A and B are shown apart, each in its own frame.
Chain A
Amino acid sequence: MNALFLFEARRSVRHWLTCLAALILIFSGIFCGNKFNFTVGEGIYLNSPYTIGFLTGLLSLSVIFLAIIYALRLLFKDTDSKFDRILFALPLAKNVYLNGRFSAYLLQTFLSFVLLITGFAIGQNLRTGEEIQHGFRLWHYLYPLVIFGFLNCLLVCSFLFFLWVTTHKKLLVVTGGLLLYIFYMVVMIFSNSPFMAGSMPQSPEAQQLSAIIDPFGLSSYFFESRGYTVLQRNEQVVSFSGMVLLNRSFYALLSLLFLVLAHRLFSYSSVSGKKHKKKSEPVTDLPEIFRKEYIRMKVNFGDGSALKSVMSFARIDLIYLFKSIAVPAVSILLLFFAGMEMYAEIEKGIRLPQKYAGSGLMATTISENFHLLGLLMITYFINDLYWRSNLSGFLPVEKTTFFSKSKLAGHLLSAMALLFFFTGLLIAEGLLFQTVYDYFRVDWKAYAGVILFNTLPLILFTAFVLILNDSFRNRFLALGVSVLAVFTFTGTASKKVLSYPLFRIFSDYTGSYSDFNGYGIYSGAFAERLVFGLSLIFALWMIHQRFKGQKRNFREEAVLVLLLLSGICCGKLFMKGYVPKEPGREMAGAIAYEKEFRKYKDLPQPDITDVETRIELYPSANAYRIRGKYTLKNQTGEPIGKVLIHFHPDLKIEEAWWKTASEAKKIDRKISDIDLKQPLLPGETATLDFEISYGWFAVNGHESFNAIIENGSFMRISRYYPVFGYQEYREMEDAVKREKAGLGERSGLKSADAPAVFKKDFIRLNMLISTEKGQTAIGTGELTEQFRRGERSYFRYEAAGIPFRFAVSSARYRQKKLVHKGTAIHVFYHEKHSENVSHLIENARLTLDYCSQNFGPYPFKSVTFAEVSSFTRGFAATAYPGAVFMPEDRIFHANIHADEKQDVINELAGHELSHMWWGTSQIDPDEREGAPMLTETLAMYTEMMLYRKMHGGKKMRERLKVHQQIYDSEKGLSENQPLYKVTPENTHISYSKGAVAMVKLSELIGEDRVNLALRNFLVNNSYPKKPSSTDLLEEFYKVSERRDETDRLFKTP
Chain B
Amino acid sequence: MNNLLINRLSLTYKDGFRAIKDLTLEVGNGMFGLLGPNGAGKSSLMKVIAGLQKPTSGNILFNGREVTRDPDPVRKHLGFLPQDFGVYPKVSAYDLMDHIAVLKGIGRHRKTQILNLLEKVNLGEFKNREVHTFSGGMKQRFGVAQALLGDPKMIIVDEPTAGLDPEERNRFNSLLSDISREVIVILSTHLVEDVRNLCSEMAIMSRGQILRKGKPGALIKELENRIWTKAIAREQLDDYLSGYRVISQQLLERELYITVFSEERPEGFSTVDPLLEHVYFHTLNQNSSL
Q: A residues touching B (Cβ–Cβ < 8 Å)?
A: 276, 278-279, 281-282, 284, 287-290, 292, 294-301, 305, 308-309, 311-313, 315-316, 319-320, 323-324, 388-389, 391-394, 396-404, 406, 549, 551
- When chains A and B are docked, how far (Å) is the Cα of A147 from the Cα of B110? 63
Which residues from A are CB-within-8-Å of B105?
Answer: 299-301, 305, 309, 402-403
Q: Which 7 A-B residue pairings sit nearest by Cβ, starting from the closest? A: A393-B86, A401-B103, A396-B82, A299-B105, A312-B102, A400-B80, A288-B119
- Identify which of B3-11, B92-100, B210-218, B223-231 touches chain A: B92-100
Q: Is the CB of A406 within 8 A of B103?
A: yes
Residues facing A in B77-108 (CB within 8 A) are 77-78, 80-82, 84-91, 95-96, 98-107
Q: Is the CB of A393 within 8 A of B84?
A: yes
Question: At the interface, yes or no: B178 with Cβ under 8 Å from chain A?
Answer: yes
Q: Is the CB of A404 within 8 A of B133?
A: no
Q: Is the CB of A308 within 8 A of B87?
A: no
Q: A288-B120, A289-B121 are in contact. Are A394 and B107 (CB under 8 A)?
A: no
CB distance from A371 to the nearest CB of B (A): 29
CB distance from B29 to the nearest CB of A (A): 15
- When chains A and B are docked, how far (Å) is the Cα of A313 from the Cα of B88? 12
CB distance from A367 to the nearest CB of B (A): 33
Q: Is the CB of B120 within 8 A of A294?
A: yes
Q: Is the CB of A279 within 8 A of B120?
A: no
Q: Is the CB of B75 within 8 A of A402?
A: yes
Task: Give the bracket for the number of chain B residues in contact with chain A.
Answer: 35 or more
Q: Which one, B85, B95, B117, B151, contacts A298 given CB within 8 A?
A: B151
Q: Is the CB of B119 within 8 A of A292?
A: yes
Q: Is the CB of B72 within 8 A of A402?
A: yes
- Of all chain B residues, the one with the shortest Cβ separation from A398 is B103
Q: Which one, B69, B98, B100, B109, contacts A397 given CB within 8 A?
A: B100
- Of all chain A residues, the one with the shortest Cβ separation from B102 is A312
Q: A289-B120, A401-B104, A402-B104 are in contact. Are A281 and B99 (CB under 8 A)?
A: no
CB distance from A156 to the nearest CB of B (A): 27
Q: Is the CB of B85 within 8 A of A288?
A: no
Q: Is the CB of A549 within 8 A of B148?
A: no
- Of all chain B residues, the one with the shortest Cβ separation from A392 is B86
Q: Is the CB of B91 within 8 A of A309?
A: no
CB distance from A388 to the nearest CB of B (A): 6
Interchain residue pairs with CB less than 8 A apart (22): A281-B138, A287-B171, A289-B121, A289-B122, A289-B171, A294-B148, A295-B116, A297-B107, A312-B98, A319-B90, A320-B89, A320-B90, A323-B90, A392-B87, A393-B84, A393-B86, A394-B87, A397-B80, A397-B100, A400-B51, A402-B103, A403-B103
Q: Is the CB of A299 within 8 A of B120?
A: no
- Of all chain B residues, the one with the shortest Cβ separation from A319 is B91
- When chains A and B are docked, how far (Å) is the Cα of A664 from the Cα of B273? 125
Q: Is the CB of B148 within 8 A of A301?
A: no
Q: A282-B125, A289-B171 are in contact. Are A404 and B84 (CB under 8 A)?
A: no
Q: B residues touching A (Cβ–Cβ < 8 Å)?
A: 47, 50-52, 69-70, 72, 75-78, 80-82, 84-91, 95-96, 98-107, 109-110, 112-113, 116-117, 119-122, 124-126, 129, 132-133, 135, 138, 143, 146, 148-151, 171, 174-175, 178-179
Q: A398-B100, A402-B104, A402-B105 are in contact. Are A297 and B82 (CB under 8 A)?
A: no
- When chains A and B are docked, how far (Å) is the Cα of A400 from the Cα of B155? 11
Q: Is the CB of A297 within 8 A of B150?
A: yes
Q: A292-B120, A388-B88, A394-B85 are in contact. Are A315 and B99 (CB under 8 A)?
A: yes
Which residues from A are CB-within-8-Å of B149?
Answer: 297
- When chains A and B are docked, how far (Å) is the Cα of A393 from the Cα of B78? 19
Q: A279-B129, A396-B80, A401-B100 are in contact. Are A284 and B87 (CB under 8 A)?
A: no
19 other contacts beyond A294-B178, A300-B105, A316-B95, with CB at 8 A cut-off? A279-B125, A281-B122, A289-B119, A289-B171, A292-B119, A296-B113, A298-B151, A299-B76, A299-B77, A300-B107, A301-B76, A309-B103, A309-B105, A315-B95, A315-B99, A324-B90, A393-B87, A400-B80, A401-B78
Q: Is the CB of B116 within 8 A of A404?
A: no
Q: Which one, A296, A400, A403, A551, contacts B102 given CB within 8 A?
A: A403
CB distance from A974 to the nearest CB of B (A): 57
Which residues from B are CB-within-8-Å of A292?
Answer: 116, 119-120
Q: Which one, A278, A295, A299, A402, contacts B135 given CB within 8 A?
A: A278
Which residues from B are CB-within-8-Å of A296?
Answer: 113, 150-151
Q: Is the CB of A312 within 8 A of B103?
A: yes
Which residues from A are CB-within-8-Å of B87?
Answer: 392-394
CB distance from A739 to the nearest CB of B (A): 59
CB distance from B50 to the nearest CB of A (A): 4
- Of all chain A residues, the one with the shortest Cβ separation from B172 is A289
- When chains A and B are docked, how far (Å) is the Cα of A297 from the Cα of B99? 15
Which residues from A are CB-within-8-Å of B98?
Answer: 312
Which residues from B are CB-within-8-Å of A324?
Answer: 89-90
Q: Is the CB of A287 within 8 A of B122?
A: yes
Which residues from B are CB-within-8-Å of A278?
Answer: 133, 135
- When chains A and B are docked, how far (Å) is the Cα of A767 from the Cα of B142? 85
- When chains A and B are docked, how far (Å) is the Cα of A397 from the Cα of B46? 12
Q: Is the CB of A295 within 8 A of B113?
A: yes
- Of all chain B residues, the one with the shortest Cβ separation from A284 is B122
Most chain B CB within a 10 A radius of its CB, from A299, A320, A396, A400? A400
- When chains A and B are docked, how far (Å) is the Cα of A403 from the Cα of B85? 19
Which residues from A are CB-within-8-Å of B117?
Answer: 294-295
CB distance from A18 to the nearest CB of B (A): 21
Q: Which one, B51, B76, B91, B178, contacts A320 given CB within 8 A?
A: B91
Q: A312-B99, A397-B85, A397-B100 are in contact. Are A297 and B75 (CB under 8 A)?
A: no
- When chains A and B are docked, how far (Å) is the Cα of A763 from the Cα of B268? 132
- Of all chain B residues, the one with the shortest Cβ separation from A301 is B105
- When chains A and B are docked, how far (Å) is the Cα of A295 from the Cα of B240? 55
Which residues from B are CB-within-8-Å of A295?
Answer: 112-113, 116-117
- When chains A and B are docked, how far (Å) is the Cα of A281 from the Cα of B125? 8
CB distance from A385 to the nearest CB of B (A): 10
Q: Which one, B86, B89, B125, B175, contacts A289 given CB within 8 A?
A: B175
- When chains A and B are docked, how far (Å) is the Cα of A772 from the Cα of B112? 68
Which residues from B are CB-within-8-Å of A299?
Answer: 76-77, 104-107, 150-151
- When chains A and B are docked, how far (Å) is the Cα of A282 from the Cα of B126? 10
- Of all chain A residues, the one with the shortest Cβ separation from B95 is A319
Q: A292-B119, A296-B151, A309-B102 are in contact. Are A316 and B88 (CB under 8 A)?
A: yes
Which residues from A are CB-within-8-Å of B119?
Answer: 288-289, 292
Which residues from B are CB-within-8-Å of A300?
Answer: 105-107
- When chains A and B are docked, how far (Å) is the Cα of A392 from the Cα of B135? 15
CB distance from A311 to the nearest CB of B (A): 8
- When chains A and B are docked, how far (Å) is the Cα of A646 from the Cα of B173? 94
Which residues from A are CB-within-8-Å of B78?
Answer: 400-401
CB distance from A237 to the nearest CB of B (A): 50
Q: Is the CB of A316 within 8 A of B116?
A: no
Which residues from A are CB-within-8-Å of B116?
Answer: 292, 294-295
Q: Is the CB of B85 within 8 A of A400?
A: no
Which residues from B are CB-within-8-Å of A284?
Answer: 122
Most chain B CB within a 10 A radius of its CB, from A281, A388, A389? A281
Q: Is the CB of A394 within 8 A of B86?
A: yes
Which residues from A are CB-within-8-Å of B100?
Answer: 397-398, 401
Which residues from A are CB-within-8-Å of B151?
Answer: 296-299
CB distance from A286 to the nearest CB of B (A): 11
Q: Is the CB of A401 within 8 A of B75?
A: yes
- Of all chain B residues, the one with the shortest Cβ separation from A288 is B119
- When chains A and B are docked, how far (Å) is the Cα of A102 from the Cα of B128? 40
Which residues from B are CB-within-8-Å of A403?
Answer: 102-105
- When chains A and B are docked, how far (Å) is the Cα of A402 from the Cα of B96? 16
CB distance from B161 to the nearest CB of A (A): 14
Most chain B CB within a 10 A radius of its CB, from A300, A308, A397? A397
Q: Is the CB of A297 within 8 A of B72?
A: no
Most chain B CB within a 10 A radius of its CB, from A281, A299, A300, A393? A299
Which residues from A are CB-within-8-Å of B126?
Answer: 279, 281
- Of all chain A residues, the one with the shortest Cβ separation from B83 is A396
Which residues from A are CB-within-8-Å of B109?
Answer: 297
Q: Is the CB of A393 within 8 A of B85?
A: yes
